[in-house]
Chain A
Amino acid sequence: MINHHPDENLLAEYSSGSLAWALSLSVCAHIQLCPHCRQKVSALNKIGGVILNTSAAETCAPNSFENLMQRIHQKTTTEKAAVEKTEGEQATKIAAAEGLNNAYSHDPLLNRLPKIIEKLLPINGKLKWQRVSSALKTARLTAGQNEYEVAFQRISSGGKIVEHDHRGLEITLVLQGSFSDEQGIYSRGDFLVRTPGEIHRPTATLNQDCLCLSVVAAPVKVTGFIGHFINPFLSIKPA
Chain B
Amino acid sequence: MANIISAVPSGAREDTWSRLLERVGQERDENAFAQLFAHFAPLIKGFCLGNVNASFPADAADEIVQEVLFKVWQKAPSYDATKAAASTWIYTVMRNCRIDVMRRNKRTITDSGVIEIEDIWDEAADDQAYVYLQQASNEIIIQNAFKQLPTEQRVVLTQVYMQGKTHQQISTETGLPLGTVKSRVRIALKKMQVLIDVASKKRSDTTGDGQ
CB-nearest residue of chain B relative to A53? B87
Q: Report the minimum CB–CB distance from A189 to chain B (whole Å).
A: 16
Do residues B43 and A53 form an inter-chain contact, with CB atoms below 8 A? yes
* Chain B residues numbered 131-176 whose CB sits less than 8 Å from any CB in chain A: 138-139, 142-143, 146-147, 157-158, 160-162, 164-167, 169
CA distance A81 to B119 in the complex (A): 25
Majority SS of interface residues in chain A?
A: helix
- Assembled-state Cα–Cα distance A44/B161 (Å): 10
Interface string of A96-140 (1 = CB under 8 A from B): 100000000000000000011001111110000000000000000
Q: How far is the CA of A96 from the CA of B43 in the complex (A)?
A: 42
Q: Number of B residues contacting the other chain (C-beta, 8 Å)?
A: 76
Question: Are A38 and B108 CB-contacts (below 8 A) given A18-B169, A45-B92, A65-B41?
Answer: no
Is there contact, CB below 8 Å, between B66 and A68? yes
| Cross-chain contact A54 with B147 (CB below 8 angstroms) | yes
Decide if A25 is an interface residue (CB 8 Å cutoff): yes
Q: Which residues of B contact A69 (CB under 8 A)?
A: 30
The answer, yes or no, to whether B104 is at the interface (CB within 8 Å) is: no
Instruction: Identify the stretch in A8-16, A158-166, A177-185, A211-219 within 8 Å (CB) of chain B at 4 or more residues.
Output: A8-16
**A28, A54, A115, A124 pick with most chain B CB within 10 angstroms:** A54
Contact of B61 among A21, A58, A144 (CB under 8 A): A58
Q: Which chain B positions have C-beta within 8 A of A15?
A: 161
Interface flags, B162-203, vs A, CB<8A=1, else 0: 101111010000000000001001100110100000000000
Within the complex, the shortest CB–CB distance from B144 to chain A, in Å, comes to 9
Chain A contact residue count (CB 8 A cutoff): 66
Q: A1-35: contact bitstring with B at CB < 8 Å (1 yes, 0 no)?
A: 00000011100111111111100110010010001
Interface residues of A in 196-221 (CB under 8 A from B): none
Known: A8-B190, A42-B128, A144-B115. 9 other contacts (CB 8 A): A12-B189, A14-B121, A16-B160, A42-B84, A46-B139, A52-B87, A60-B62, A64-B65, A72-B73
